[in-house]
Structure 1
Amino acid sequence: MKRVILSVAIIATIGLVSCKNEAKKETTKTEQTTSNQVASIETTFGVRGNCGMCKNTIEKAANGVEGVSMAEWDKLRKQINVSYDESKTNVDAIHNAIAASGYDTDKVMGSESAYENLPGCCQYDHGMEMSLKGDVKEDENSNH
């Protein structure tokens, strides 16, 4: 009889522990945070230049403007694609930064003193076309 009572007590205890554990299940909390993402403006405009060194200088000048997140100059088309935060800068500031580095844009003439300090391969023809459309062939003489 003691065995039966002991067995019943053990089973009852296990049952209570099981019930307690089920009641203590922790609930997971998911927090959703919204970030203040600022919409980026994308623009494309013409920039004169000749070679890979020009590409580096032009992109560095554009990327140096606070708020610019991406700048990529296309040597063949003579144009730059820029993404920027309009709450921090504007397209005119980007044109001015590129012009200050010595390169003409389709809005602002490059700084003459900066142009004169460019390497010889980077001293472009001030009359060259910009923002070329359609198929563009690479000039054999501009592989710098």
Structure 2
Amino acid sequence: MKNLKVTTGIILVAFLALSAMSCKNETKKENDTIIAEVAQNLTTISFGVRGNCGMCKKNIEKAANAVDGVTNAVWDVEKKKIDVIYNNTKTNEMAIHNAVAMSGYDTEKVSGNTEAYNGLPGCCQYDHEMEMNQMK
């Protein structure tokens, strides 16, 4: 009788362990599927944005990152170029251009908002003829 209880206990523990492993594998498969779907919807773009300094960098990146669906935006001060990663099911390239322009900065496709530009600090008031998206 004692051996039957021990054997039953061992079988129960083994069953629970196998069940837990099975659930873990199913969860991993579900997570892998979700990650693949999200990665499939990510788009990377680069475009020119006029600006001068570190404060411009902060403002430009803040404007781009505020767009719902943008996961990362980095502006290169020297190249006058922003690299953006976004979820294409939540936003599009023009929405990002428009957001940056509304903060006062010209992009390759949209002129900066004049009122916002005039409100920028003097160091951020760039030359409107400046080259953008330079390949240095």
Instruction: Quickly name the TM-score band, shorter chain normalised.
Output: 0.7 to 0.9
Percent of pairs with identical residues? 50
- Normalized against structure 1, the TM-score is what? 0.77
Q: How well do the aligned residues superpose, as a CA RMSD in angstroms?
A: 1.6
Map 1:43-122 to 2 at 5 A: 43-122=45-124
What is the number of residues matched between the two proteins? 122
- Asked whether 1:19 is paired with 2:7, we answer yes
Code of the aligned partner of 1:19: T
User: Larger Rg: 1 or 2?
Assistant: 1
Structure 2 CA distance, aligned partners of 1:26 and 1:46?
Answer: 61
Question: 1:128 is matched with which residue?
Answer: 130
Query: Where in structure 1 do 4 or more consecutive aligned residues deviate above 6 Å?
Result: none
The structure that is helix-richer by fraction is 2
Structure 2 CA distance, aligned partners of 1:16 and 1:49?
Answer: 79
Unpaired runs of at least 5, structure 1: 1-12, 135-144
Map 1:25-36 to 2 at 5 A: 25-27=13-15, 28=17, 29=19, 30-31=22-23, 32-33=26-27, 34-35=30-31, 36=34
Code of the aligned partner of 1:129: E
Structure 1 CA distance, aligned partners of 2:105 and 2:9?
Answer: 72
Q: C-alpha displacement at 1:49, in angstroms?
A: 0.3
- Normalized against structure 2, the TM-score is what? 0.82
Unpaired runs of at least 5, structure 2: none
Structure 2 CA distance, aligned partners of 1:67 and 1:22?
Answer: 50
Q: C-alpha displacement at 1:20, in angstroms?
A: 3.3
